[in-house]
Structure 1
Amino acid sequence: MKYQQVDETFKAVDAVAEEIFGGAVSAVLFDGPPLTLDDLLQQTSWVSQLAIYGSDVAAWRILQEHGLRPRLFVGHSMGEIPALVAAGAFSVEDGARIVAERLRALEEADLPAGRMAALTLDGQRTRQLLDLLDDPALVVAAENHDRQTVISGPEHSVRAALRVARELNAGGLLLASPFAFHHPALEPVRAPFAARIGGLLRQAPRTAVYSPILRRTYRADDDLATLLAEHLVRPVDFRGTVRSLYDGGVTTFVEAGGLGSLGRCVERVLADAGDLTVRSTFRLEADGRLGVEQAVTGLSGAAPDSFEQFWAAFGTRLVARVQAELAASAAALAGPAAPAPAAAAAPVPVSAAPAAPAPGGAPDREELFAELRSLYAQALEYPEEVFTEEVLLEAELGIDSVKQVELLTRVTGRYGLSPSDIRLSDHDTVGKVVDLLHARLASGDVSIAAA
């Protein structure tokens, strides 16, 4: 590792991991060949959870070193832990300890298996869907924007909700989350988790931290252990938080960590805003630059210090770790910086005009490639030229799993095919997606699923 902030952050995380779990995160994250998303998901939960936490904190410390001074921090789900660390409420080591003890408390509770799923519906329509199912075990876990709401509950109930959603022409996918977070079923974990972290040294945050779960800013006299434990059973209102912050004068948002999933959520929530600036540290921007470069040059005025070396040294492996968070619940640290007016265009709607199947039932491969390329470019506001056969959809372009499912659903829907089972992690380039769809369209059997 050639970047000091990353080295220092993961040394602190490793110390906690060695103490509690008997192993180092860095050994998995940085030694050996880069990991795929499937490789990551096969790791034990503590590795991926602490790697995500470390990536968030390291990204923030890089931004801080280059002069970025945010007005407040916002965390999404587990991301509230690195948000509090960034604000100075906890040390890096104690933040890692909170993540570790959270996981241990959940594992030791021996709860019934639960799942989470993301639906391409707003919160109101999702609640109507849950009312239709009349299953009290299903709850809304997070509202991210008008086209993404996360539900949580027993696996059979979540799968039933997905089936009904697809019948209603809504996209959705199971998330690779180890637990059904933000659900009342986790109530037995709340008190033990709070007790485990209640003795950690905490300080009053030096910078304000706004919680999308509490829907308020943390106060100096808050019992942080109790509040962090309550997060397990309370929903996340990210959509409402972003709107409230914007209405309060925040116009610039910087995502520290992640591949741009939360940044795109902000853009979708504030699609009608004309003075919005959004930067995501690990997102590839339309001009080909890494988001962190735009963040430090465009917002703080400081020149980037060897970011190309930084990315070459460990970027691929950090991205692999962050992919787990995107698959799990987008729980990464989102830190809005001081307001700075800038124009931002709303996402371009994807055309729904049907295409006619090619003779023989399946479209020509070149035709299918051109269609996917056009759809992705319109939806993400990228030049079509970036969508080559080999480009990695998530690792290089930051297209999250939910968005991939939504786009694939639209493409297959044009040919009247019913959805069924595509492993997104096995088809991480445009070329692979085209090959798979071409074969499935020929057979008339398409199904879409999460990793």
Structure 2
Amino acid sequence: MVDSVFVMPGTVAAPRGGILRDLHNRYETVREALSRIDKAARDMGLPNISTRLIEHNGTSDRRGPEVQYLEIFAVSIATHHMLIAEGAEPVAIVGQSIGELWALAAAGHVSVEDAARLAVARSEVLTRQSWNGKMLAVGVDGRRAESLAGLMDHPDLVLACENAPRQSVISGPRQLIEHVERVADSLGWPSLPLDVPHPTHTPAMARAARDLRATAPRVPYGSGRWRVCSPWLGRDVGDDDPVDLVAGALTSRVRMLHTIRQLHAAGADAFVECGEWAVVTKFVEASIPGVRCVVPLSESDPVEVVRALVAESAEAAGGAPFRPRPSAPPSNGRGPVVRVTLPAPAGPVEPAPSAAPSAPSTPSAPSASSAPSAVATVAPAVTSSASDGLEYETVLAELQTLYGDFLGYPPDLLGEDDGLESELGVESLKQVVLLGRVSDQFDLPELRSNSSLLSVGTLRRIAESVVAGRAEAAGR
């Protein structure tokens, strides 16, 4: 038997338009859940949540944080219902930050409507507090991140999240976080500010927590169907008041790394992300190398991926050995990645270690996902004319030197088509730092926000983007 854990992301980017179209058409349970979220939203004076998610509309209309949270919830609960409809059964459900609320709803401890109302109440108290804070992902372990935060000696500047062995999140006042970022850079520690509507997991949120306990609608707690593990409580959720759970998390540290390892030690073989991108599962991969991770919505056929997992579970239950596979590559930010067959390499490809942006979740940094050894991820190509060939070679050589100096590799060992994360082991936060240096070196500020260069992760793609960017800047 393959024991699967369903994981629910916290604060991630707004989902793509149309992401739930197929699930909405296929499953009555998905349609019902989305209808219930829509009704709750309308009762609170918000627009329908599902409309954008089931139509082919690729942009978010940015209707505020409440809508963003409910859209994330809708994607998580719809994915959960698809998994259950196809026969997948979790041994536990885990949520990160506000994702714990999605987990409670998925497990049946609270109703979908109550979860939606509580998510909106949480957002409203955070908006009322209007704290000038910030969160920063740092590519080091929790102990060093905590020491870094401690240098400033401020009660509200704390280690907020322990996501993976080498990814932590610090939360605190904006001005102090900017100091922390500069110190991290001087130490050579990669870091990335997180774009979240409400920085949390710091004692600074005590007022918002009190406000939530005083004003949020009471939520009845029922007996759920599945076990829910809480990374901030450090235990399973029992007969806990849902409002207290959500309020308590606002000021508490999220220990996702520890929860993941405890579940794996207890027998969990696979982790399935109920979201659009690999966010929490990137932490899983970094924490437990070789573990099976599945992100159905990042695949071209999510249902087939889930059916394959269920079939493997049945096969394992019949006595055949379980054969883990690498996790699915995520969306590149412009739609699902394209999967193409390539000749298998001579040796095995190690699974890569996280955000984004994922980032992203409790927020996580954006990250490139590892690809199976016979599968490559392909983003829309940047074409160059023959006349750009010499410039491409010059740019590539400069990139090989820049990346080689940073990583300690001889430049000639950095192949233009080598996967930066999957083959060279360059962590996602380091890729963010390096892309920033490329942006500065070639005076192309737009490269910093080009997430496809992180999800594709090769020097060829970066060099092509530099050549195209310089040509555009020159007016050619």
- Could you say which residue in structure 1 is the equivalent of 2:41? 17
Match of 1:146 in 2: 165
- Note the alpha carbon deviations across 1:93-137, whole angstroms, 9 max, x for none: 211111111111222x33322111111111011112122333433
Name stretches of at least 5 consecutive residues in structure 1 with no aligned partner: 304-314, 333-343, 346-359, 382-401, 443-451
Does structure 2 retain, via aligned residues, the 8 Å contact 1:76–1:212? Answer: yes
**1:263-308 CA distance string (max 9 Å, x none):** 121111012xx6x322222234xxxx656533332235699xxxxx
Task: Please name the residue that 2:422 is paired with.
Answer: 378
1:171 maps to which residue? 190
Partner of 1:120: 139
Superposition map of 1:52-91 within 5 A: 52-91=72-111
One-letter identity of the residue aligned with 1:26:
S
Aligned partners of 1:100 and 1:415: how far apart in 2?
Answer: 38
Structure 1 residues 143 and 417, CA, compared in 2 at 3 Å: closer, same or farther? farther
Q: How does 1:50-449 map to 2 (within 5 A)?
A: 50-107=70-127, 109-197=128-216, 199-219=218-238, 221-271=239-289, 276-284=291-299, 290=301, 293-300=304-311, 326-330=358-362, 364-365=394-395, 371=415, 373-376=417-420, 378-379=422-423, 404-410=428-434, 424-429=448-453, 433-437=462-466
In the alignment, the residues of structure 2 paired with residue 406 and residue 66 of structure 1 have an alpha-carbon distance, to the nearest angstrom, of: 38
Separation in 1, partners of 2:82, 2:136: 32
Q: Report the CA distance between 1:195 and its aligned residue.
A: 3.8
Residues 10-37 of structure 1, C-alpha deviation per residue, up to 9 Å, x if partnerless? Answer: 22111111111331123443446311xx
Does the 8 Å CA contact 1:34/1:316 hold for their aligned counterparts? Answer: no
User: Structure 1 residues 419, 374: closer, same or farther in 2, change over 3 A?
Assistant: farther
Q: Output the TM-score relative to the length of structure 1.
A: 0.71
Name the CA shift for 1:245/1:327 in 2 (closer, same or farther; >3 Å).
closer
1:326-348 CA distances to partner (integer Å, 9 max, x unpaired)? Answer: 2453569xxxxxxxxxxx99xxx
Partner of 1:348: none
- Cα 1:11/1:243, change in 2 over 3 Å: same
Residue 33 of structure 2 corresponds to residue 3 of structure 1: no
The residue type equivalent to 1:21 in the other structure is G
Retained in 2: the 8 A contact 1:137–1:157? no
Write the letter of the residue equivalent to 1:12: R
- CA-to-partner distance for each residue in 1:220-277, whole Å, 9 max, x for gaps? x322221221011101000011111122222222111141121121111012xx6x32
C-alpha displacement at 1:49, in angstroms?
Answer: 0.9
Q: Is the 8 Å Cα contact of residues 107 and 227 (structure 2) preserved in structure 1?
A: yes
Following superposition, the deviation at residue 191 of structure 1 comes to: 2.6
**CA 1:48–1:330: 2 relative to 1, 3 Å:** same
Whole-angstrom distance in 1 between the partners of 2:271 and 2:427? 21
CA distance 1:423–1:117, shift in 2 (3 Å): farther
Deviation, structure 1 residue 325: 7.6
CA shift for structure 1 position 160: 1.5
Structure with the larger RCO, 1 or 2 (CA within 8 Å, 6+ apart): 1
Q: CA deviation at 1:61?
A: 0.4
Cα distance change, pair 403–85 in 1 and its aligned pair in 2 (3 A)? farther
Equivalent residues of 1:253, 1:263 under 8 A apart: yes
How many Å apart are 1:69 and its aligned residue?
Answer: 1.0
- Deviation string 1:398-445 (CA, Å, 9 cap, x unpaired) is xxxx95542243477799969995565445355874355458999xxx
Q: How many angstroms does 1:375 deviate by?
A: 3.5
- Alpha carbons of 1:362 and 1:302: their partners in 2 closer, same or farther (altered >3 Å)? closer
Aligned partner letter, 2:430: E
Give the TM-score normalised by structure 2. 0.68
| TM-fit CA distance, 1:67 | 0.7
- More moved, 418-427 vs 259-268: 418-427
Aligned partner letter, 1:137: D
RMSD between aligned alpha carbons? 3.9
Contact kept, 8 Å, 2:150 with 2:158, in 1: the verdict is no
In structure 1, what residue type is equivalent to 2:288?
L
Cα distance in 1 between the residues matched to 2:435 and 2:56? 37
Output the amino acid matched with 1:296. R
Superposition deviation, residue 379 in structure 1: 4.9
Q: How many angstroms apart in 2 are the aligned matches of 1:167 and 1:361?
A: 32
- Distance in 1 between residues matched to 2:34 and 2:285, nearest whole Å: 31
Structure-2 change in CA distance of 1:379 and 1:18 (3 Å): farther
Q: Which amino acid aligns with 1:231?
A: A
Structure 1 residue 218, shift from structure 2 partner: 1.0
> SS at the partner of 2:298?
coil
How far apart are the structure 1 equivalents of 2:295 and 2:241?
A: 31
Q: Letter of the 1:409 partner, please give it.
A: V
SS at match of 2:114: helix
Moved more, 166-175 or 251-260: 251-260
| 1:262–1:424 CA distance, 2 compared to 1 (3 A) | farther
* Secondary structure of the structure 2 residue equivalent to 1:207: coil
Report the counterpart of residue 354 of structure 1 in structure 2. Answer: none
Instruction: Give the partner amino acid of 1:125.
Output: R
**Deviation for aligned residue 1:200:** 2.1
Q: Which moved more, 1:21-30 or 1:417-426?
A: 417-426
CA distance in 2, matches of 1:216, 1:291: 31
Q: Secondary structure at the match of 1:157?
A: helix
Q: Does the CA-based 8 Å contact 1:194-1:228 persist in structure 2?
A: no
- 2-side partners of 1:331 and 1:411: how far apart? 20
- Distance, in Å, in 2 between the alignment partners of 1:13 and 1:415 is 42
Other-structure match for 2:324? none
Report how far residue 366 of structure 1 moved: 5.5
Counterpart of 2:77, as a letter, is: V
3-state secondary structure, aligned to 2:211: helix
Change beyond 3 A, Cα 1:236–1:290:
farther
Mean alpha-carbon deviation: is it higher for 2-11 or for 293-302? 293-302
Note the alpha carbon deviations across 1:192-212, whole angstroms, 9 max, x for none.
323444522220222110100
What is the rounded CA distance, in whole Å, between the counterparts of 1:159 and 1:183 in structure 2? 16
